[in-house]
Structure 1
Amino acid sequence: MHSSTARPVRRMPAIGAVVALAAGMLVTLAPAAHAAAGATLPFTSVEAESAASTGTRIGPDYTQGTLASEASGRQAVRLTSGQRVEFTVPRASNAVNVSYSVPDGQSGSLNVYVNGTRIARTLPVTSKYSYIDTGWIAGAKTHHFFDNARLLLGQNVQAGDKVAFESTGTQVTVDVADFEQVAGAAAQPAGSVSVVSRGADPSGGGDSTQAFRDAIAAAQGGTVWIPPGDYRITSSLSGVQNVTLRGAGSWYSVVHTSRLIDQSGSAGNVHIQDFAVIGEVTERVDSNPDNFVNGSLGPGSSVSGMWIQHMKVGLWLTGNNDNLVVENSRILDTTADGLNLNGTAKGVRVRNNFLRNQGDDSLAMWSLNSPDTNSSFENNTISQPNLANGIAIYGGTDIAVRNNLVSDTNALGSGIAVSNQKFLDPFSPLAGTITVDGNTLVRTGAINPNWNHPMGALRVDSYDSAVNATVDITNTTITDSPYSAFEFVSGGGHGYAVRNVNVTGATVRNTGTVVVQAEAQGAATFRNVTATQVGASGVYNCPYPANSGSFTLTDGGGNSGWSSTWPDCSTWPQPGQGNPDPDPGRNLAKGRPATATGSQDVYTPGKAVDGDANSYWESSNNAFPQSWTADLGSSYAVRRLVLKLPPSSAWGARTETITVLGSTDGSNYSTVVGPQGYRFDPATGNTATVSLPGGTNLRHLRLTVSANTGWPAGQLSEVEAYLTP
């Protein structure tokens, strides 16, 4: 069975250079801005970068394949042995869930402190479920760097108390902590059939598969009870119908399996609630049904109060799932989708769920075989899908996407995509009315590495056929999009039209390039769309392919802040290109795209502009000269460079011979400062300063290393460029 929605993406010819968001583009939204969108959650999240720490903050970074680019808020805190991050607890809590990353191949634990006192319990951390490679997906790089680990604290803490996490040896990057007051375990419902009474082992030592099957058979029309404990299931359940599977709460009743239910059909009336299903999926194999639910629960079913983690997909739904409700659940750390309505769904409601760290679309409807109809994604909170979209609608009839909060998409994704990309046949294109209402998108959109070109925060895509459905986009908030806010495109390169789009009542703040990115023929009407802090221009209106037909933007009134049009279809605007730099003290190189003539292992060019002096670029060894180049995004009169190596005594003093070159077009370079030896000494911070002559305008900065007394390669941990002498 095909079970992937990050299908290979056809290449769209490049319109401009790969771009990355400058660090200064990041803005944190006040909580009130999100009040109308997203799920009502039982926990409150606190970002590590806002906590007190003895560690090192990484990011912000929007470059595919970097750790910070997959972090919530594009920032996190790295802890080495003995370092801590200390959170101020935002609410009364007795439990915490932490999103973290450790280097590939490593595992360890974090010590936990409450108000300065170390508790007996530790928080385990591992790379086991991270670092996913999907070479069959065009443009995919190693991704899925973060994971989640949860802990009952064994005591109550109050708002204002301090909870700290300390590295015990393994380097750990902490992203975000979710603080929660977990209620006590629920009691067994009267008349229910306990899996323990049928031989299930709550210690997790024995195989409980047959006990679950026997309990389901005995409880037809009633409830199967899963008491507190850990249960191991070694093969999937099938023939599940007309039964409720209920646990004592998702922190207490835990089923360990990578395949809970796998069945192509069911009479329905299946209700699954209030327990956790935690799998052991460590890679993505699309032919394997490594899913919490694979196939059909049948009509009139529901999923509620679940904690689903370490699966390939949370719910991959085919067959008859009419009127299914999926609500109040958490889906974490899946190597592919969170949930996919894979055709035929009617009247399905997916609402008030929390999804984090998906390796594909977090929520998707894909109208394969027959259309998804009259179904909706409502009031869900989605964070950090690291390969595809937050929400994707691939075809279907009369679909609604309402009041969702999506943040921090990466690589091949928009916050919300409404698309006629079919992937396989038979496919049912968009039809009827597609309602996209009340959604908030934060730091969504990304460079598509196949297109060498960005995707907007909200995308309407006539990929394989024209969009003829009515698409109503209303009451949208788009904040801190690294590139564009609204994109209309025929991404397959066929030039199909995008028609019948109405954008009404949108607020766009701090978009990196443009408000509207129009690259298809067709039309859209805009009413009451206001924009502030627009990076380059209001509109980019350039048909793809060229001469394939124009896109008409109709001003329906009430629009403001985005009346200008990008004048040159031969170049893609860079983030912030339309505005003069307001901060002459800003490091112009931080976060910019970087390349090199060669790199050694993981020491890639981007390490020299990631804002972290501990990471570094190292060229190919024994092959001088070697060059490192950064695109600053616009031409600047750069007056000073600061070059760094890691500030560690392990890096002995050395001298590198470096030539500084500059270019305004990326092709023709001239020497700015001739070859000189620059001394790096750990006793003085391993830093060298290069003064550039006044009047030197450059966009592309190149450093050519011809010698190094400490190592047979060019080495740079940070290259900083400033307007000030």
Structure 2
Amino acid sequence: MHPTRTSVRLMPVAVAVALAAGLVTVTAPAAHAAAGADLPFTSVEAESATTTGTAIGPDFAQGTVASEASGRRAVRLGAGQRVEFTVPRAANAVNLAYSVPDGQSGTLDVYVNGQKLAKTLPVTSKYSYVDTGWITGSKTHHFYDNARLLLGRDVRAGDKVAFQATGVQVTVDVADFEQVAGAAGQPAGSVSVVSKGADPTGQGDSTQAFRDAVAAARGGVVWIPPGEYRLTSSLSGVQNVTLQGAGHWHSIVRSSRFIDQTGSSGNVHIKDFAVIGEVTERVDSNPDNFVNGSLGPNSSVSGMWLQHLKVGLWLTGTNDNLVVENNRFLDMTADGLNLNGNARGVKVRHNFLRNQGDDALAMWSLNAPDVGSSFENNTITQPNLANGIAIYGGTDITVRGNLISDTNALGSGIAISNQKFLDPFHPLSGTITVDGNTLVRTGAMNPNWNHPMGALRVDSYDSAIEAQVRITNTTVTDSPYSAFEFVSGGGRGFAAKNITVDGATVRNTGTVVVQAETPGAATFRNVTATGVGAAGVYNCPYPAGSGTFALTDGGGNTGWSSTWSDCSTWPQPGQGNPDPDPGESGNLAKGRPATATGSQDVYTPGKAVDGDADTYWESANHAFPQALTVDLGSSRTVRRLVLKLPPSAAWGARTQTVTVLGSTDGSTYSTVVGATGHRFDPATGNTVTIPLPAGTSLRHLRLSVSANTGWPAAQFSEVEAYSTS
């Protein structure tokens, strides 16, 4: 969470591009051996389950339910529809990530091996649909929420657990199956909050009882027995004490502000209970956090379930040698955890973070540098308004062994940055170690820049990078844009230098492997790429004339030797450098420049000529007529057109009324084929062939669409032009 995120960078690129629904093939990452947290549950995606509902996605456009889903896919259930999961492991509990329409709430019926349970799973939009209008470029976001349930019975691997919608539409994303241990017993000599008057039914206000227990147990343990406890204000003066519960499925504290204190002598240990808040919007001036401020030196937080807060831990003051491990951070409206300066020797490891509303994990060196601290072996999924991990300044920082997936807007999987936000800021210094991380479908379109952000970004935003940045053993899979980005996000061309990328596997990156947009230098060794969408390198520092970015080949690099040839345009995912002469028998339109009278979100004109029938152009909605124009590069004889929509059966049959026009100079167009209704039917491949009159010669091909019975816009996934009849 930051006070403002309003910077707008002017870029030299005229075309904003993004990945349309269906462009990336979702594959399982070949993860680094140590990537991610050791988790006590196993997740199953709804789209891999059996369902009577409707699959949605994939989609990479900011502000859609599919794009915020894990894997960018989910299953939508109407009343009476269900999704049935095959249980992957012995379990007695499940946590479900879901979304319901804004303003609605309801329940899901739950079935185990066909038997309906007496208990239902509540679902609500109460904590979703967050608006942050003061953050430039943000849209309504945070569509998902998590709900958990003890099943009341043991299920085995191979058993079936189903969820059925009743009176509200529910989009189901992923189910986490877990074997929950019984409640732990009270430690000897501990002070129970119930003995101080706390109400384990959650009806009474237990704030004072918790305060009294903390005061009485100084030097010992405060025990939180199984039950629910309601706190109406925060605790302070917490030091030299352990707060311990019976397990986070058993001991539950209902509070939006648990600890709020500017300082502590330290030795605070918090473990094994849940803190679940009631934060429904993001108000940056409010301390709506599990911990706001300082726990003091030599403290720890472990085994916690933190949910429906603004920030899990917003740490200021002194927190030296703090250890944060084996926790779950769910559904925050801002950051999961932020080390906000003066953090020395902090270790954040083996945590699970889903659906954060800003950076999932961040170090921000405001007022004093964060020093010698690390984010290691965390699993982060679906941060919906910023980065998975962000390092803003600091000295000798380590980011190692993390698994990050599905960043959605305004961020990368990992950002190493000198963006200061406020002063006094302490830029990156010493050695920044980024090792053994796995990034899956990370990177996103930044609407402020009109430009994408890479899976791993090094950003000299407000000052040159003087630290030694060592990026090693990285796996980047299915990035919608680039794998590695080097940029000065403030648009002032500060240098990004002293960078080494050593050992990386890049698979199916949408545009380029290296996106270099600022002066500086980096050495690449043993970087292997396959399935590169456009070219190996985009090297176009901004502002023009600010300097060059030097890429040094340290050896062992394969699969990304080409360079994008035109700095005046940004490559669209899967486009590739245009082939100037595809040959008379080939598709004359493939990879050629395409423009349109309008487009909807990320469904840009280039999607219609990228050679991938699963991606598509969609015009501005409710604005017929709309036209798509393709420049074939020179006047060509064209005998037939092949127009396509995605072949998926989800694209129902529709008729589009199309006029074919042609031009030799790009200014004067004549009609080649008059307005005709063409039926696209998935039963026949969603493909239409239009013969052109003999002798048709044109350079600029224009398709004008005046009607579409299936959608209020023009739509083409491929426009192909052939010289043969």
Other structure's SS at 2:215 match: helix
The one-letter amino acid of 1:382's match is I
Q: How do 1:153-302 residues align onto structure 2 when only pairs under 5 Å count?
A: 153-302=151-300
- The residue identity in structure 2 corresponding to 1:639 is V
Residue 639 (1) aligns with residue 642 (2): yes
Q: CA deviation at 1:633?
A: 14
Q: 1:93 to 1:663 in 2, by over 3 A?
A: farther
- For 1:575, give the aligned amino acid: P
1:54 pairs, out of 31, 49, 52, with 52
Query: Normalising to structure 2: TM-score of the pair?
Result: 0.88
> Which amino acid in the other structure matches residue 372 of structure 1?
D
For the 8 Å contact 1:574–1:634, the answer to whether it is kept is no
Matches within 5 A, 1:99-118: 99-118=97-116
Query: Are the equivalent residues in 1 in contact too, given 2:12–2:542 (CA < 8 A)?
Result: no
* d(CA) in 2 for partners of 1:677, 1:136: 46
Aligned partner of residue 212 in structure 1, secondary structure = helix
- The unaligned stretches of length 5 or more in structure 2 are none
Equivalents in 2 of 1:281, 1:716: separation in Å?
38
Q: Which amino acid aligns with 2:319?
A: N
Secondary structure of the residue that 1:216 maps to in structure 2?
A: helix
Report the counterpart of residue 121 of structure 1 in structure 2.
Answer: 119
Q: TM-score, normalised by structure 1?
A: 0.88
SS at match of 1:554: strand
> Which residue of structure 1 lines up, in the alignment, with residue 674 of structure 2?
674
Cα distance change of structure 1 residues 152 and 596 upon mapping to structure 2, 3 Å threshold = farther
Aligned to 2:383: 385
Contact 1:99 1:177 in 2 (8 A): yes
Query: CA 1:654–1:485 in structure 2 vs 1: closer, same or farther (change >3 Å)?
Result: closer
Instruction: Please give the alpha-carbon distance, in whole angstroms, between the structure 1 residues aligned to 2:698 and 2:184.
Output: 68
2:626 maps to a residue whose letter is S
Out of 468, 482, 491, the position equivalent to 2:480 is 482
Q: What's 1:627 paired with?
A: 626
Residues 230, 630 of structure 1: CA spacing in aligned structure 2 closer, same or farther, 3 A cutoff? farther
Do the aligned partners of 1:480 and 1:510 also contact (CA within 8 Å) in 2? yes
Q: In structure 2, what is the Cα distance between the partners aligned to 1:632 and 1:193?
A: 77
Matching of residue 309 in structure 1 with residue 307 in structure 2:
yes
Look up the match of 2:410.
412
Conserved in 1, the CA contact under 8 Å of 2:624 and 2:713? no
Report 1:368-517 matches (<5 A). Answer: 368-517=366-515
Contact 1:666 1:700 in 2 (8 A): no
Distance in 2, matches of 1:294 and 1:317, equals 6
Q: Tell me, which stretches of 5 or more residues in structure 1 are unaligned?
A: none
Cα separation, 1, equivalents of 2:381 and 2:72: 11
Superposed CA deviations along residues 472-517 of structure 1, whole A, max 9, x for unmatched, are 0011111111111111111111111111101111111111111111
User: Counterpart in 2 of 1:18?
Assistant: 16
The alpha carbon displacement at 1:519 in A equals 1.0
Once the two structures are TM-superposed, the CA of residue 534 in structure 1 deviates from its matched residue by: 1.1
Take 1:409 and 1:306, find their aligned partners in 2: how far apart are those partners? 24
Query: Is this contact kept in 2: 1:25–1:510, CA < 8 A?
Result: no
What's the CA shift for 1:561?
A: 1.1
Matches of 1:456 and 1:598, distance apart in 2: 23
- Distance change (3 Å), C-alpha of 1:593 and 1:432: farther
Deviations 1:562-605 (A, max 9, x none): 111111111111111228999x9x9x99xx99987699xx9x99
Q: 1:148 to 1:628 in 2, by over 3 A?
A: farther
Mapped pair 1:323 → 2:321? yes
What's the CA shift for 1:617?
9.0
Name the residue aligned to 1:573.
571
SS in 1 for 2:67: helix
Counterpart CA distance in 1 for 2:134 and 2:195 is 46
Please give the per-residue CA displacement for 1:519-578, whole angstroms capped at 9, x wherever unaligned.
Answer: 111111111111111111111111111110001111111111111111111111111122
Deviation at 1:213, TM superposition (A): 0.7
Does structure 1 retain, via aligned residues, the 8 Å contact 2:597–2:619?
no
Of 244-253 and 3-12, more deviation after overlay is shown by: 3-12
Deviation for aligned residue 1:693: 3.7
Q: Is the 8 Å Cα contact of residues 238 and 263 (structure 1) preserved in structure 2? A: yes
In structure 2, the CA distance between the partners of 1:440 and 1:598, relative to structure 1 (3 Å rule), is closer
C-alpha separation in 2, matches of 1:499 and 1:525? 10
Which residue of 1 is the match for residue 545 of structure 2? 547
SS of the residue 1:33 aligns to: coil
CA distance in 1, matches of 2:388, 2:244: 29
Going from structure 1 to structure 2, the CA distance change for 1:546 and 1:309 (only over 3 Å counts) comes to: same
> Does the Cα contact within 8 Å between 1:338 and 1:355 map onto a contact in 2?
yes
Aligned equivalents of 1:202, 1:700: Cα separation in 2: 72
Q: Distance in 1 between matches of 2:478 and 2:557?
A: 19
Q: Distance in 2 between matches of 1:23 and 1:574?
A: 14
Mapped to 1, the partners of 2:236 and 2:311 lie a distance apart of: 17
2:67 paired with 1:69: yes
Contact kept, 8 Å, 1:106 with 1:170, in 2: the verdict is yes
Tell me the distance in 2 between the aligned counterparts of 1:335 and 1:699.
48
In 2, distance between residues paired with 1:663 and 1:329? 62
Q: Using the TM superposition, name which of 355-364 and 167-176 deviates more.
A: 167-176
Pairwise CA distance, 1:54: 1.1
- Secondary structure of 1:197's counterpart equals helix
For the 8 Å contact 1:99–1:147, the answer to whether it is kept is yes
Instruction: Give deviations 1:184-206, integer Å, cap 9, x for gaps.
Output: 01011111111111111111111
Work out whether 1:144 is the aligned partner of 2:142.
yes
Alpha-carbon spacing, 1:423–1:669, altered in 2? closer, same or farther (3 Å):
farther
**How far apart, CA to CA, are the structure 1 residues paired with 2:6 and 2:549?**
27
- Mapped partners of 2:632, 2:300: distance in 1: 50
Deviations 1:102-143, CA, capped at 9 Å, x for gaps = 111111111111111111111111111111111111110111
Letter in 1 for 2:706: V
Q: Is the 8 A contact 2:656 2:705 kept in 1?
A: no
CA distance in 1, matches of 2:440, 2:340: 27
Shift of 1:661: 6.4
- Is the partner of 2:529 in helix, strand or coil? strand
Is the 8 Å Cα contact of residues 237 and 262 (structure 1) preserved in structure 2?
yes
Residue 95 of structure 1, aligned match among 81, 93, 96: 93
**Separation in 1, partners of 2:303, 2:595:** 45
Letter in 1 for 2:643: R
Secondary structure in 2 matching 1:210: helix
Task: Work out the CA distance in 2 between the residues paired with 1:434 and 1:688.
Answer: 51
When residues 663 and 544 of structure 1 are mapped into structure 2, their CA distance, relative to the original with a 3 A threshold, is farther
Measure the CA separation in 2 of the matches of 1:698 and 1:277.
Answer: 64
Question: 1:20 Cα shift?
Answer: 2.4
Is contact 1:445-1:455 (8 Å) kept?
yes
Residue 284 of structure 1 aligns to a residue whose secondary structure is coil
Equivalent position SS for 1:692: strand
Aligned residues: 700
Contact 1:393 1:419 in 2 (8 A): yes
Change (3 A) 1:410 1:95: same
Letter in 1 for 2:435: D
CA contact (8 A) 2:598 2:620 kept: no
| Cα distance in 2 for residues equivalent to 1:443 and 1:504 | 21
| 1:715 aligns to 2:712 (yes or no) | yes
